[in-house]
Amino acid sequence: MRAVVQRVTRAKVTVEGRVTGEIERGLLVLLGAGAGDGPADVGYIADKIVNLRIFADDAGKMNRSVLDVGGGVLIVSQFTLYGDARQGRRPAFTGALEPVAAKALYEAALAAVGAAGVMRVEAGEFAADMAVDLLNDGPVTILLDSRKGF
């Protein structure tokens, strides 16, 4: 699995004008599942999301997690994280997991983040055309890959 984790002051996802998820201070996570991903990948990504120390402590050093600060997590499915644009100008998405299995892993990630103690876990709408509105705090953006490709 791949994730783009952004520390935010606020974030909101809408589908056709309807809000599907919204948080104040916390993390916006764009999450994609790749071919071959399974429960171990979900566990790795969920653990990283909730324990990343990217919030400032009293000394201003990034030393606190979303759990430590009581923040929310908004997770948005994004298969395009597996877009491969190394050849030509149109990305190929052959590395993305097929939709039925990807949805199951997405839902498992939502549950795992909640089970880890995050009090507010919000979601986009799987496979929908979504509008994401956010205020990136810092900006702080971290890339995660369960296969440790980066």
| Residues forming the active site | 78-80
Check: CB of residue 33 under 8 Å from CB of residue 96: yes
Check: CB of residue 65 under 8 Å from CB of residue 52: yes
Closest by Cα among 101, 103, 48, 52 to 78: 103
- Distance in angstroms (rounded) separating the CA atoms of residues 140 and 146: 20
Query: Which letter does DSSP use for residue 45 in this model?
Result: H
Closest by Cα among 109, 79, 111 to 95: 79
Check: CB of residue 31 under 8 Å from CB of residue 3: yes
